[in-house]
Structure 1
Amino acid sequence: MIFYGHYRVTNDKKGDNMIGCLCLHGFTGSPYEVEPVTRYLEEHTDWLISVPTYPGHGEQLMLKGITHKLWIDEAERAFLELRKKSGTLYILGFSMGGIIGGYLASKYGCDKLILLSASAYYMNPAQMVKDIKDMIIKGVRGTLKDDELYLRYRKKFMDTPLSATFEFRKLVKTLKPSFRDIEVPTLIIQGECDGLVPRKSAEYIYKTIPSKRKKLCYLKESKHMICHDVDQEQLIEEVFQFLMEPTK
């Protein structure tokens, strides 16, 4: 039976009929980036939720000497492992995880695909200027040191070698053409105040994928860390409703 709101979704299925959901984080990130969504799914369903961490990633970054192929391989390994246990399989990818998720959906297929701030393009100069101004204001007020997301971004910047950034660019260039082969139902969500991934990234993906069932949703006040931002409730509602819709 399926219930909404504060109830739990129980599909009463086992083995080959089980539902699995692969959730992929972004470049220099960790499962924390998608944790609000994965926690909600764990609390409201009995699905198998897989959230792999790419080599060199996690709370302590160790990216020196790590290639983008290793990131793809780890996501692919987790996908194939989950596929063994699930008859129905969903993929959710954030930022770089959206690029990898699109690749997996095009190569193997899945039942539904969700792309959050997927980085087909990256860097939004106008929004970055606004964000820097906001940080300067917070710095003057002495409140910047209490901004958790700023502290995480600062640590990422300090701990990310230039070689890793080049590997990220290689990954996007290599996997971006995969969007032309995505036939599965797809939900694309983009924050309008994202300084790292511009609006045109979501627009490009929406126009490129040939799926007959696709939806593009903008969150007006959200920046890049979309799962943790002010429109979090709307994001989770959009994701959950999309996953609850019949596949046929």
Structure 2
Amino acid sequence: MIGCLCIHGFTGSPEEVAPLVEYLQKRTDWVIKTPTLPGHGEQLQLRGITYDQWFQAAEEELQALMEKCKTIYVIGFSMGGVIAVYLAEKYKIDKLVLLSAAFYYINPRQFIKDIHEMVRDGWRRLRENPLFIRYKNKIFATPLTAILEFRKLVNKVRPLLPHVDVPVLIVQGEKDGIVPLKSAYYLYEKIGSAKKKLLFLPASYHHVCHGPDRYVLFTEIEKFLLENGNY
């Protein structure tokens, strides 16, 4: 039996990876788990939460999956991608998919473009603009202590990259205003995997599972997870 663990991002929820999960559920009989990390979900309660609690929650879900399944895939989005690398270094998994993995964060040039786009959209409609909602949640609804814990998490995982040898697919939206392109290049260069592939999505922003390239993304992920040997 195949098990697949999908981990959402910082200040996010399983909704961030829901379209991908739905696609895989329709096309496979895999056991797919999408946990909500401590302090996350529809109502953020991040104050007092530490990064090791995020590690622990993901580890517990992975351990439970490993008890049921022989083959294990881990998919991580944004901060979830960083946590996925941590798991791949510590546990024996079969394949790794990293979506907008946040080893670097905030792309200033794209952020400015996004702000200009919001302004062009008109201030009266600003509250309905998905870009504004995304940045509002990221910036205004997150305590500074949680941001510091996120940075600690990234700093903890970066040195582990050379020790990860599992096949990996690294995905990055080219219009991502949260995680810059250099994060994907950094990952590709530093990760120790002999089998690794970079996939750039030209029309996608940060939330690649909801972006205009999502069906290309889903097809590529399915192909990567199902195929054997080199790619």
Taking structure 1 as the reference length, what is the TM-score of the superposition? 0.89
CA distance in 2, matches of 1:247, 1:129: 42
Q: Secondary structure at the match of 2:24?
A: helix
Taking only aligned residues, the RMSD between alpha carbons, in angstroms, comes to: 1.4
Unaligned runs of 5+ in 2: none
Q: Which residue of 1 aligns with 2:200?
A: 218
Q: Which residue of 1 aligns with 2:223?
A: 241
Paired AA for residue 92 in structure 1: I
Give the length in aligned residue pairs. Answer: 230
Conserved? CA contact 2:7–2:84, under 8 Å: yes
Q: Matches of residues 158-177 of structure 1 in structure 2 within 5 Å?
A: 158-177=140-159
Aligned identity (percent) is 52
Q: Secondary structure at the match of 1:60?
A: coil
Instruction: Work out which of the residue numbers 148, 172, 176 in structure 2 matches 1:190.
Output: 172
Q: Secondary structure at the match of 2:73?
A: strand
Q: Matches of residues 25-174 of structure 1 in structure 2 within 5 Å?
A: 25-140=8-123, 142-148=124-130, 150-174=132-156
CA distance in 2, matches of 1:86, 1:153: 38
Q: CA deviation at 1:211?
A: 1.4
Q: CA deviation at 1:44?
A: 1.0
CA distance in 1, matches of 2:47, 2:229: 42
Instruction: Work out which of the residue numbers 218, 231, 248 in structure 1 matches 2:213.
Output: 231
CA distance in 2, matches of 1:40, 1:144: 31
1:18-69: CA deviation from partner (whole Å, max 9, x where unpaired): 1000000000100000111011111111100011111100011001111111
Paired AA for residue 225 in structure 1: H
CA distance in 2, matches of 1:112, 1:163: 33
CA distance in 2, matches of 1:238, 1:177: 28
**Does 2:173 align with 1:203?**
no
Q: Secondary structure at the match of 2:74?
A: strand
Q: Which residue of 2 aligns with 1:8?
A: none
Q: Secondary structure at the match of 2:122?
A: helix
Q: Which residue of 2 aligns with 1:13?
A: none
Paired AA for residue 31 in structure 1: P
Paired AA for residue 58 in structure 2: A
Conserved? CA contact 2:118–2:126, under 8 Å: yes
CA distance in 1, matches of 2:45, 2:158: 25
Q: CA deviation at 1:247?
A: 5.3
CA distance in 1, matches of 2:131, 2:116: 16
Conserved? CA contact 2:11–2:137, under 8 Å: no
Q: Which residue of 2 aligns with 1:4?
A: none
Q: Which residue of 1 aligns with 2:5?
A: 22
Q: Secondary structure at the match of 2:113?
A: helix
1:128-186: CA deviation from partner (whole Å, max 9, x where unpaired): 1100101111124x443333453244234332111100110000001111211111110
Q: Secondary structure at the match of 1:183?
A: coil
Conserved? CA contact 1:111–1:247, under 8 Å: no
**Whose radius of gyration is greater, 1 or 2?**
1
